[in-house]
Amino acid sequence: MAFNRIADLGDLTGKIALIRVDLNVPMQDGRVTDLTRLQAVKASVDAVAAVGGRSVLLAHFDRPKGKVVPSMSLKPVVPALSDVLGRKVGFAVLGDTLPDDEVIVLENTRFSPGEEKNDPALAAQFAALGDVYINDAFSAAHRAHASTEAIAHILPSAAGETMGAELEALEKALGAPKRPVVAVVGGAKVSSKLAVLENLVEKVDHLIIGGGMANTFLYAQGIGIGSSLCEKDLKDTALIILEKAKTAGCAVHLPTDVVVAREFKAHADNEVKPATEVEEGEMILDAGPETVKVLAGVLTGCKTLVWNGPMGAFEMEPFDAATVGLAKAAAALSEKGDLLTVAGGGDTVAALAHAGVKDSFTHISTAGGAFLEWMEGKELPGVAALSIK
């Protein structure tokens, strides 16, 4: 998909750029506790300033459902954002006269009932505040809201620096990837990633299934899984996905050895055994070392990796071993330039950070729902609105 970047908007001297950003940050006692999303704003604000423009930031916070909820105001975010940007940041409520600051945060877009309805009238109100529109919030791009979709049809529009980098990385991962392509899909439930699996078997050469999801696929093939987490009602669905993969020439990889325990807790007594020998009362909590060794070999033979979800109960030692081991294998290949590595989703980012390899991947998306919908092959409204017709 072709889309404009900030540089394509030309000289912005004396103009205001409306930038849709993600300021939905964790807060405690009125203070921001994680600056990651604020830091992602800086590149676009700097790019606008470099061509003479001022920035008005549009963002939501939490779910006020179209009402003014004081505890969900964006005003407390302003001091931390000012520190991150190294610029004075003002604050305004829609309908007020904008202050003269070089950067202004507009109050929570979701305080307006028309935001989540993609109301053209509200989009026009937003648009009246500026001269150009920039979407730099991939994490909100799967929502057709007034500040993400309708406004892009009113003003000259472009992707922000963070959004642009995200779209380019995703295009390289699944749009026009270097092959072979391998996808790692983990997590607890098949039902939450059914559309992802169905899309990926048509697009990748290797599909690695981990976490509780793998148990459902093992069960579907008649393998005993003891007391493991499993969606037994999806047995037929799992078999259909395996058949689709076979038809599409996609190799599906499931654990061949597993780590089992009789208690779901950190450092529970555990045992490594073949996946076919799980006894009643035992829970599969991780893939085993032989599986990790085999899967690392699969990665070695590939050029592109897309990752979403852990291989086991990574929050509890020692059931983090497969996730950490496979992540380190991917990171080593990525650092050598042999494997393009793209990962996304909250649990995935946490797992890669836990493994100490977050900075070694080619691209990490902090988006949750948007990343999943992209993996499902869906068109994201906020991205589609930026396309050059």
Is 62 annotated as ligand-binding? Answer: yes
According to DSSP H, which parts of the chain are helical? 36-39, 42-50, 78-85, 120-127, 161-170, 194-200, 211-220, 235-248, 289-300, 321-335, 346-355, 369-375, 381-384
Cα atoms in the 13 Å half-sphere on the side-chain side of 136 = 32
Peptide bond preceding 180 in cis form (omega within 30 of 0): yes
Query: Residues 66, 90, 368, 369: which is the catalytic one?
Result: 369
Query: Residues 20, 37, 54, 203: which is the catalytic one?
Result: 37
Is 23 annotated as ligand-binding? Answer: yes
Query: Residues 15, 75, 87, 189: which is the catalytic one?
Result: 189
Of 34, 31, 41, 36, nearest to 105 by C-alpha is 41
d(CA 297, CA 12): 51
Yes or no: say if 16 and 54 are a contact pair by the CB < 8 Å rule: yes
Is 153 annotated as ligand-binding? Answer: no
d(CA 85, CA 38): 8
Is 20 annotated as ligand-binding? Answer: no
Of 133, 45, 46, 56, nearest to 93 by C-alpha is 56
Residue 303 is a catalytic residue: no
Residue 5 is a catalytic residue: no
Is 14 annotated as ligand-binding? Answer: no
Is 193 annotated as ligand-binding? Answer: yes
Residue 337 is a catalytic residue: no
Query: Residues 249, 297, 346, 356: which is the catalytic one?
Result: 346
Is 346 annotated as ligand-binding? Answer: yes
Is 130 annotated as ligand-binding? Answer: no
Residue 189 is a catalytic residue: yes
Is 87 annotated as ligand-binding? Answer: no
Is 98 annotated as ligand-binding? Answer: no
Cα atoms in the 13 Å half-sphere on the side-chain side of 100 = 0
Is 37 annotated as ligand-binding? Answer: yes
Is 54 annotated as ligand-binding? Answer: no
Q: Which residues are catalytic?
A: 37, 189, 346, 369
Annotated binding site for substrate: 22-24, 37, 60-63, 110, 143
Annotated binding site for ATP: 193, 315, 345-348
Annotated binding site: 22-24, 37, 60-63, 110, 143, 193, 315, 345-348
